[in-house]
Amino acid sequence: MKLELENKVILVTGGAKGIGEAITRGFAAEGAIPCILGRNPAEAAALAAELTAQGQRADAFSCEMTNETAVRTAVAAVFSKYGRIDCVVNNAGVNDGVGLRSSVVDFRTSLEKNIVQCFVLVQACLDALIATKGTIINIGSKCSVTGQGGTSGYVAAKGAMNGLTREWAVDLAPHGIRVNCVLPAEVMTPLYERWLSTRPDPAAALTDIKRSIPFEQRMTTAEEIANMVVFVASPRSSHTTGQILFVDGGYVHLDRACTKAMQLK
């Protein structure tokens, strides 16, 4: 199935590693031009150079996402170079462990890192997206609907992201702009590996996590998240908007009794 994404300009925040890297690669493979926005220019430039060497297209724009001026400058640079913006993927964020015992300053900082920067980016891209009847895809988290414990800032931000997905879908429908949110659950990324390494027995912890995932009892891959993002961004998903899409092997919604029964087989 051709997804009709050739030459579309896609902004991917945090697009140089983890789920963001998979998203960047997914769009590049479809002939789009993913533009990585992030604060590590060396990583982003290296990925863009690799994809270019493979005959694909990608670009990198250095940007600290919590700096409004830097975000608006990066968006202007993308538009100046390519003359259009077709899709924004709000992927950057961090589960920073800001909980109820954290300071109010830390809570506000967590919101800046995980949701305020998304608002700033979409606002900066809005006129360009209206011109192309583009799309917005937010990368959320299962904890926005399940809770997690010990991470009030991140959960509040991801809950707000679900709400903004539907709010923006309503606001922007008259302009032909679709807005959706893709929610991962258990995906092996560098950040996830770092968290896993803090467990007393990382291998045993990983085994337990896999056994709690109903479908095939395995982690979701970053590529599986990316595949959903790329499809939803494409004209092949032309009547899908305001949706919260779970790509998680049934982790969030399937009955835990079913999961336990599978473990006993």
pLDDT one-digit tens code per residue, 57-68: 999 999 999 999
- Look at domain 9-187+221-253 and name its CATH class: alpha beta
**Cα separations in angstroms, 244 against 93, 164, 207, 236, 241:** 18, 11, 28, 18, 9
Query: What's the rounded mean pLDDT across residues 190-218?
Result: 90
Write the burial class of residue 217 (CB in 10 Å: 0-12 exposed, 13-18 middle, 19+ buried): middle
Tens digit of pLDDT for each residue in 234-263? 999 999 999 999 999 999 999 877 766 666
pLDDT over threshold 60, residue 91: yes
pLDDT over threshold 60, residue 264: no
Helices 152-172 and 104-111 meet at what angle, rounded to 10? 40
**C-alpha 148, offset from chain centre:** 19
Among 36-50, 104-118, 221-235, 249-263, the minimum mean pLDDT is found in 249-263
What is the model's pLDDT at position 6?
A: 98
Closest listed residue to residue 152, CA positions, set 96, 98, 106, 92: 98
Q: State whether residue 79 is helix, strand or coil.
A: helix
Q: Considering only the C-alpha atoms of the chain, give the largest distance between any 2 of them, rounded to a whole number of Å.
A: 58
Domains of the chain, residue spans: 9-187+221-253
Q: Are 15 and 33 in contact (CB under 8 A)?
A: no
Alpha helices in 86-151 (DSSP H): 104-111, 117-132, 143-146
What is the model's pLDDT at position 117?
A: 98
Question: How large a percentage of the chain has pLDDT more than 90?
Answer: 90
Query: What's the rounded mean pLDDT across residues 132-155?
Result: 97
What is the model's pLDDT at position 262?
A: 63
The catalytic site residues sit at 154
Give whichever of 183-197, 199-213, 226-240, 245-259 has the largest mean pLDDT. 226-240
Lookup: tokens for 120:
């700033």
Write the burial class of residue 112 (CB in 10 Å: 0-12 exposed, 13-18 middle, 19+ buried): middle
